[in-house]
Amino acid sequence: MAGVSLVLEGKVALITGGSRGIGAETVRLFAQAGAQVVFSYKQAREQAETLAAECGGSKHCVAVQQDLSSATDGRALIAAAVAAFGRLDVLVANHGVWPSKDAPIAEMAEAQWRNTLAINLDSVFGLVQAAVAQMDLQRASGFASGQTTGHIVLISSTAGQRGEANHADYAVTKGAVISLTKSLSSELAPRGIRVNCVAPGWVVTDMSSETLNDPELGPRIASGIPVGRAGTPLEIAGPVLFLCTPLAGFISGEVLNVNGGAVLVG
């Protein structure tokens, strides 16, 4: 008896922040599912080139160095992805910044606030705007109501649902991503573009390792997660892949919580 396959043969996916952590695992999964993958990185050139080679090289996987701190940057990355493989079927907006040092709102520097919003939100606007324009161009002349022509997955966080003390800048952007998901779903589902969101909890990545490895904070965080530990990048990448397959064709505007049961929201 044949198993169920999550297959993306013939599709082109762009994954931002793909050189490490959740992004790198997502790149690997999409490549394994048969997609041609473009992913962005900011500074980790060696890691990015190694990952691209691992996933099949230039005919299957391309790494693009691109700063993402403005809408213009986002639009430029979409153009690079289309130039690489001629089309775009999937956008996964995974990149982001989480300033790890606590910054109470009364003390937070305006520069930090603006930088976090620029990276986590402004660039996402540019990415989505250009991706939708490209997906609209690709719509077949025989497009039928209900047919899926593209997928967008935005990565939020539990911080966007319950807030995060001393990290208001980050929480604000992730809450906005959830609102953006719902707005885009209502707008784009009739045009065949499915927009969904994955909201991870604590995940073991370079960005969170200092906090999770802290002898006091690490155990405290784990004790607040019903499964008893932080997640792995692969455990986030799997749901992202699922949302971009035909099995998820009737899912639109959903916020998929992947947090070990730490935050239960409807």
Domain segments of the chain: what residues?
A: 12-140+147-258
Confidence of residue 264 (pLDDT cuts 50, 70, 90): confident
Question: In this predicted model, which residue has the larger pLDDT, 229 or 182?
Answer: 182
Are 199 and 255 within 8 A, CB to CB?
Answer: yes
Residue 23 β-bridge partners: none
Note the pLDDT tens digit of each residue in 51-107. 999 999 999 999 999 999 999 999 999 999 999 999 999 999 999 998 888 999 999
Return the CATH fold of 12-140+147-258. Answer: Rossmann fold (3.40.50)
41 is a catalytic site residue: no
Beta strands in 104-180 (DSSP E): 150-155
Give the pLDDT of residue 230.
87
Q: Which amino acid is at 158?
A: T
- pTM greater than the 0.85 cutoff: yes
- Of 41, 98, 170, 202, the catalytic one is 170
Question: Mean pLDDT over residues 3-10, rounded?
Answer: 83
- 190-231 pLDDT, tens digit per residue, is 999 999 999 998 888 777 777 777 777 778 878 788 998 888
